[in-house]
Structure 1
Amino acid sequence: MRFLLFALSLLPVCAFSQSKNILKHELDSMYVLDQRNRVWLTKLGNNQPLTDSLTTLYKVSRTKLAGALWTEQIQIDSSNLKRAEVILQQQGYPGKTMVGVPTNEAIFYIIQHSHKVDTYLPAVKKAAESGELPFHQYALMLDRSLMYAQKPQLYGTQIACRKVRASSASRCFVWPIEDYRNVNQRRKQAGLPLTVAENAVRLNAAYDPSLTMEIARQLYVLDL
């Protein structure tokens, strides 16, 4: 009888553990879908070798492959976001305690690639401040929120590609930074390993530390 009672007492624990494993596997799959086409598009943009099977799979020429990949990615992002919102509403942000590392970053990337950044920024902030998510991820999302609002960013993580007003060309540049003299100190505190200048080189973007929002509006067409 005692064994039966003990076994029954373990059922909720086992069910909870199984539920966490199911969620972890689901989030891992969602993250793969979030990243896969983006990795291919990056390679395509950098003229890196791609397997011929991609053009065969999408039944397009290499010149039209980017369009096909983005069309599919938009659909994936929409599906991922719908499921992510259900998870967030039912149980809050699934951090490392619930799903482990690096699965705890899956929802972050899905939100970061959506139009719901401002909606879920408080949940990401809470997760970061409680150690459930790396703090640098919150820094990236905060900067993106500020950029979308056409305000200077705090950590210098966001790159914008905009049309240059003086020509028909476009240029990628580091979005204006608030208090740029101390930005690398803030980056270090947030856990970002590279300086703004080093990150700009990595992303092949122009970096002018003194760029303000006023000057940026004169140089670029900022509205998307």
Structure 2
Amino acid sequence: MSAARPAQPQIALNLLDLKRLHQEVRAHSDLHADEASDAALRKVEDAATEALRLIIAVHGWPGHSLVGEDGANAAWWIAHHSSDRAFQQHALSLLEEAVTAGEATRRHLAFLTDRCRVMADRPQLYGTQFSYQQADLRPFEVEAPDRLDARRAEMGLEPFDAFEEFVRSLAPPPVPMEVPTEGSEQ
């Protein structure tokens, strides 16, 4: 991937602004804890999805030569976090083509592939998606786990154990709420 000036720097800036806004809203919301946080996040995700949909309609997938590496990363981020599952599937097929053409990274393809598979209630291939289950962070089901690290290596990903350690360092388990017992002070 080159550091050449992107063909559409304004589109890159728009994508980066949408990603930044999403990250800000996400950082200040209590995910799935209340309706207001969910609604605010959904509003930002929907606007970003619509903007990316329009960019794709005019230019195709915003790859490295169109929007630079940072812009392409922002496009992937928006697709990855979209709540529109049909759009995610469409973005996945475009991203596959972009990777083949050298316009996107295999890493992004691995993450979006897993996200689409998990959302379709299918086992993931690369072990990139996690969820809290009974206050423990766990990966969603993985297809053929004995081949997981080989598939990850093909996509330029680190071994799963190292990735899982990294994910856990970023997302410590939620603090369990204490339930008062009879006779305890509240």
Question: Considering the TM-score relative to the shorter chain, is it more than 0.5?
Answer: yes
Q: Please show how residues 54-203 of structure 1 align to structure 2 within 5 Å.
A: 68-114=36-82, 115=84, 116-162=87-133, 169-193=134-158, 195-203=159-167
Q: What SS does the corresponding residue of 1:101 show, helix, strand or coil?
A: helix
Aligned amino acid, residue 21 of structure 1? P
Q: What SS does the corresponding residue of 2:103 show, helix, strand or coil?
A: coil
Cα deviations by residue, 1:155-191 (Å, 9 ceiling, x for unpaired):
11111334xxxxxx45431111112112112112211
Unaligned runs of 5+ residues in structure 2 are: 170-186
Equivalent residue, structure 1, for 2:173:
none
1-structure distance, mates of 2:112, 2:93: 10
2-structure distance, mates of 1:188, 1:82: 33
Equivalent residue, structure 2, for 1:20:
8
The structure showing larger relative contact order (alpha-carbon pairs under 8 Å, at least 6 residues apart) is 2
2-structure distance, mates of 1:204, 1:101: 27
2-structure distance, mates of 1:188, 1:18: 29
Aligned amino acid, residue 197 of structure 1? D
Change (3 A) 1:184 1:19: closer
Contact 2:88–2:116 (8 Å) recurs in 1: yes
Aligned amino acid, residue 109 of structure 2? Y
2-structure distance, mates of 1:188, 1:67: 39
Q: What SS does the corresponding residue of 1:102 show, helix, strand or coil?
A: helix
What TM-score do the two structures reach when normalised by structure 2? 0.75
Equivalent residue, structure 1, for 2:21:
33
Measured after TM superposition, the shift of residue 22 of structure 1 is 1.8
Measured after TM superposition, the shift of residue 119 of structure 1 is 2.5
Measured after TM superposition, the shift of residue 126 of structure 1 is 0.9
2-structure distance, mates of 1:68, 1:203: 27
Measured after TM superposition, the shift of residue 25 of structure 1 is 1.7
2-structure distance, mates of 1:129, 1:175: 27
Contact 2:114–2:126 (8 Å) recurs in 1: yes
Task: Quote the RMSD (CA, aligned, Å).
Answer: 2.6
Whichever of the two has the greater Rg, that structure is 1
Measured after TM superposition, the shift of residue 197 of structure 1 is 2.3
Unaligned runs of 5+ residues in structure 1 are: 1-16, 46-63, 163-168, 206-224
Measured after TM superposition, the shift of residue 20 of structure 1 is 1.3
Measured after TM superposition, the shift of residue 141 of structure 1 is 0.8
Q: What SS does the corresponding residue of 2:104 show, helix, strand or coil?
A: coil
Aligned amino acid, residue 172 of structure 1? L
Larger helix fraction of residues: 1
